[in-house]
Chains A and B, each alone.
Chain A
Amino acid sequence: MKGNMTLGFIGNPNCGKTTLFNAFTGANLKVANWPGVTVEKVEGAMRYHDQTINLVDLPGTYSLTSYTMEEQVSRQYILSDDVDVIVDVVDASALERNLYLTLQLLELGKPVVMALNMMDIVEKRGMEIDTHRLPEMLGIPVIAVSARKRRGLDILIHAAAHHKGVEEPDKLLHNHPETTGHRHNHHEEYAMVYSDLIEDKIDSIIDVLKREYPEIKNYRWHAIKLLEQDKEITERYPVNLPEVIDRSYEMDIINEKYDFIEEIIEEVLVNKEKREAFTDGIDQVLTNRFLGLPCFLAIMALVFLLTFTVGDALGGYVERGVEAVSGILAGGLSVMGAGDMLTSLIIDGIVAGVGGILTFLPNIFVLFLALAFLEDSGYMSRVAYVMDGIMSHIGVSGRAFIPMLLGFGCTVPAIMASRALEERRDRMRIMLVTPFMSCSARLPIYVLFSQLFFGERAMLAAYSMYVIGLFVAIAVAFIVHKLDKKEGGYQRMLLIELPEYKFPSARTVLIYVWEKVKDFLTKAGTTIFVASIILWLLLNFGTEGYTGDMANSFGASLSRWLVPVFVPIGLGYWQIVVALIAGLSAKEVVVSSSAILFGIANINSAAGMEQMGAVLGDMGFGALNAFCMMLFCLLYTPCAATIMTIRRESGSWKWTGVCAVFQLGVAWVAAFLAYQIGGLFL
């Protein structure tokens, strides 16, 4: 028991595997992709006594066949020598289904330890699981854990550490009749014993395998896979036994596994009738034929209401902080005798740009908190069901709505979430329209311009952006769907598990939110920091060197050249054009650059806004222009990070280019219509 050890965490989707994993590793995760495929690989490490334990979180999967990329990756990794012990995370509240994967893992012949998770939910429902009988029937250690309440964690690691290298099952106690017609009695050796017909075939195949492929470690598993006519194994270890493998026995094997599972459930699960009343009750309303959609819209409206009200209330504190820092810095710089230029760079460039963005941190924090809550409570997958009808009109399943919904948070993870869609065609479509879902980076733009020009109706104006974005996304997908002639024979299949509702784990939610807040702060410290400096340079230097008047700067001259294009959409001001171009680095930069452009230290404060409103008012920039500004920012080409994500996920520069240009075009047309039609009435 010396040195390092690697534990592979595997389990069904929604079994609480990630929560358990986080309970061990905290937020110290290394997230990467498995080599060659776009399946996420999450690694962490922890200390246990004198050894380092590496933990690898495998993709959630229901089985170990080789039909999907996730299953292939998990299977290959588990079979490799890298994994010392498999930790099978099982949702105790859905034991029946989770045991199917367990039975497959047992057949791999590697050390397996079961982490029986969500026992608290089982108890709450008045059910009980016989945790003594379960290991007797399976032949592996079973440890009850609660990932949310952090119970049983040490025992699990202890059991795993002691189970390293144990390949024989623990003592199996079963109720099967001792005498079978089969020439071997496997009940002492394996938990999962098939019917005599299958066992005979397995034995015959093993005999051939032993002769032809002596290097194979686990003959039984390979024999079973050959009997299932598994593509990968059949190609790698072909055997010539046409009379034994006369057809695929996969269906028989699945059925016999489930028969055994029923036997286990019969013996270990007590009081199973009381289960699921709670979730059924909530689903009566939330997935009701008529109420489902209104409920979803109400929940989203609440999320945004909280984002604006609570976020703004907290934003005041950050504002005061930024003001204080700005004051101290200005004082310090003048004491140190810093020149005008350096003072201007720090105060007007960096503090105005980066500080201006930081005041929106509370809004973003609240938005991500709400999204994490929806995801961890189990509601997110219901949205796929509720939206399936609408999504079917645009040729994709309701499942495709989940990435779009995540787009309200940040477009980058939303586009990565489109991986879950099976058809490449669906993924490409979702990548095209997800940037129209208004991400949190665009929120500062709405907050600023709506409060400047819409007074009491500010929240309505900001909220309308979310609705318009959603509408444009669906409309574009609909048109693409109608134009695509190659649809014949294609079926969109909705198939998604609806987990039990649960109260979200504070730890999971906080880790999720912290990751997002960290991203935001990193962005403020890097992209926005650099963009602010570059912008300051462009705006303070002209053909005659350092200039006090921005109107004579390089930035101004460059932008003036583009202004004619922006006049028909109500944005024909060189300052606005500079802000929009700068916004391609990150959407928040539109606001931070406005702060620099209009020379306002604290753009989200009442005084700062009044100042900017006055400047804009003098320029003839009114409410309609502000609306067009918001609309254009909502729809135009997304930030550089999103563009790079589309490139990576689609694998095509061409498609990435099409997306970027198309979004720019849509934004221009939408703002043009709004400005021209709006102009007739105002």
Chain B
Amino acid sequence: MTLNCAEIGAVYKIEQMELPQKTERRLEALGMTHGTRIQVINTKDRGTMIIKVRGTRFAIGRDISENIQVSEVNA
């Protein structure tokens, strides 16, 4: 599934990212790489969401969330 379909409160693991290189690098610098766990804090329509990665919250837009493949992790 893609991240934009995620549910509030659930934890996911990044499987794959298909983003422009520049964006992908920035996400990597922030600690978002393959296998990283993401907790979804809040969502809005259109896939804009607040996520928690390695202890920090980020707001990301739909253009990012719909291009990240994730799988759910059973907490």
Chain A residue contacts of B61, Cβ below 8 A: 388, 392, 397-398, 492-495
Chain A residue contacts of B54, Cβ below 8 A: 96-97, 258
When the two chains form their complex, are residues A498 and B64 in contact, meaning their CB atoms are under 8 A apart? no
When the two chains form their complex, are residues A498 and B48 in contact, meaning their CB atoms are under 8 A apart? no
How many chain A residues touch the partner (CB < 8 A)? Answer: 42
Chain B residue contacts of A493, Cβ below 8 A: 23, 61, 63-64
Chain A 371-385 near chain B by CB (<8 Å), digits 1 or 0? 000000000011011
The residues in A between 273 and 302 inclusive whose CB is less than 8 angstroms from any CB of B are 275-276, 279-280, 283-284, 287-289, 292
Choose, from A59-67, A80-88, A150-158, A594-602, the stretch at the interface.
A59-67
Instruction: List the A residue with the shortest CB-CB distance to B35.
Output: A255
When the two chains form their complex, are residues A494 and B48 in contact, meaning their CB atoms are under 8 A apart? yes
A479 interface contact, C-beta 8 A: no
The residues in B between 18 and 75 inclusive whose CB is less than 8 angstroms from any CB of A are 20, 22-23, 25-31, 33-36, 41-46, 48, 50, 52-64
Chain A residue contacts of B28, Cβ below 8 A: 250-251, 254
Chain A residue contacts of B41, Cβ below 8 A: 280, 283
Q: A97-B56, A498-B50 are in contact. Are A388 and B63 (CB under 8 A)?
A: no
Instruction: List the A residue with the shortest CB-CB distance to B25.
Output: A67
Chain B residue contacts of A255, Cβ below 8 A: 33-35
Q: A62-B30, A67-B26, A389-B44 are in contact. Are A384 and B55 (CB under 8 A)?
A: no
A341 interface contact, C-beta 8 A: no
Instruction: List the B residue with the shortest CB-CB distance to A71.
Output: B29
A95 interface contact, C-beta 8 A: yes
Chain A residue contacts of B50, Cβ below 8 A: 283, 287, 385, 498
The residues in A between 158 and 187 inclusive whose CB is less than 8 angstroms from any CB of B are none
Q: A100-B31, A251-B28, A258-B31 are in contact. Are A494 and B44 (CB under 8 A)?
A: no
A484 interface contact, C-beta 8 A: no
Cα A411 to Cα B56 in complex, Å, equals 31
Contact of B59 among A94, A492, A494 (CB under 8 A): A494
When the two chains form their complex, are residues B55 and A289 in contact, meaning their CB atoms are under 8 A apart? no
Contact of B31 among A96, A283, A397, A499 (CB under 8 A): A96
Chain B residue contacts of A475, Cβ below 8 A: none
Contact of A398 among B27, B48, B57, B58 (CB under 8 A): B48
When the two chains form their complex, are residues A388 and B57 in contact, meaning their CB atoms are under 8 A apart? no
Cα A491 to Cα B58 in complex, Å, equals 18
A497 interface contact, C-beta 8 A: yes
Cα A100 to Cα B53 in complex, Å, equals 13
Cα A493 to Cα B28 in complex, Å, equals 15
Chain A residue contacts of B29, Cβ below 8 A: 62-63, 65, 100, 254
Cα A280 to Cα B57 in complex, Å, equals 10
How many chain B residues touch the partner (CB < 8 A)? Answer: 35
Cα A292 to Cα B29 in complex, Å, equals 29
Chain B residue contacts of A382, Cβ below 8 A: 59
Nearest-CB distance from A492 to chain B (Å)?
Answer: 6
Chain B residue contacts of A499, Cβ below 8 A: 57
Most buried by A among B26, B48, B59: B59
Cα A280 to Cα B8 in complex, Å, equals 12
Most buried by B among A63, A255, A289, A494: A494
The residues in A between 223 and 258 inclusive whose CB is less than 8 angstroms from any CB of B are 250-251, 254-255, 258
Nearest-CB distance from B18 to chain A (Å)?
Answer: 12
Instruction: List the B residue with the shortest CB-CB distance to A386.
Output: B44
Chain A residue contacts of B60, Cβ below 8 A: 494-495
The residues in A between 289 and 323 inclusive whose CB is less than 8 angstroms from any CB of B are 289, 292
Chain A residue contacts of B56, Cβ below 8 A: 94, 96-97, 497
When the two chains form their complex, are residues A95 and B55 in contact, meaning their CB atoms are under 8 A apart? yes
Nearest-CB distance from A168 to chain B (Å)?
Answer: 28
Cα A289 to Cα B42 in complex, Å, equals 8
Cα A401 to Cα B24 in complex, Å, equals 23
Nearest-CB distance from B64 to chain A (Å)?
Answer: 6
Nearest-CB distance from A416 to chain B (Å)?
Answer: 22
Q: A283-B50, A289-B43, A493-B23 are in contact. Are A398 and B59 (CB under 8 A)?
A: yes
Cα A397 to Cα B48 in complex, Å, equals 10
Contact of A389 among B27, B36, B45 (CB under 8 A): B45
Most buried by B among A67, A384, A498, A499: A498
Instruction: List the A residue with the shortest CB-CB distance to B22.
Output: A67
Nearest-CB distance from A230 to chain B (Å)?
Answer: 11
When the two chains form their complex, are residues A97 and B31 in contact, meaning their CB atoms are under 8 A apart? yes
Chain B residue contacts of A494, Cβ below 8 A: 48, 59-61, 63-64
A567 interface contact, C-beta 8 A: no
When the two chains form their complex, are residues B30 and A97 in contact, meaning their CB atoms are under 8 A apart? yes
Instruction: List the B residue with the shortest CB-CB distance to A14.
Output: B56
Contact of A384 among B35, B59, B63 (CB under 8 A): B59
Cα A388 to Cα B61 in complex, Å, equals 8
Chain B residue contacts of A292, Cβ below 8 A: 44
Chain B residue contacts of A287, Cβ below 8 A: 42, 50
Chain B residue contacts of A397, Cβ below 8 A: 61
Chain B residue contacts of A62, Cβ below 8 A: 26, 29-30
A496 interface contact, C-beta 8 A: yes
> Can you report 10 A-B residue pairs in the complex whose CB atoms are below 8 A from each other?
A96-B31, A97-B54, A100-B31, A251-B28, A255-B35, A276-B52, A280-B41, A491-B20, A494-B64, A498-B57
List residues of chain B with CB under 8 Å of any chain A CB.
20, 22-23, 25-31, 33-36, 41-46, 48, 50, 52-64
Known: A65-B25, A398-B48. 9 other contacts (CB 8 A): A63-B29, A251-B34, A258-B33, A283-B57, A388-B61, A389-B48, A392-B61, A491-B20, A497-B56
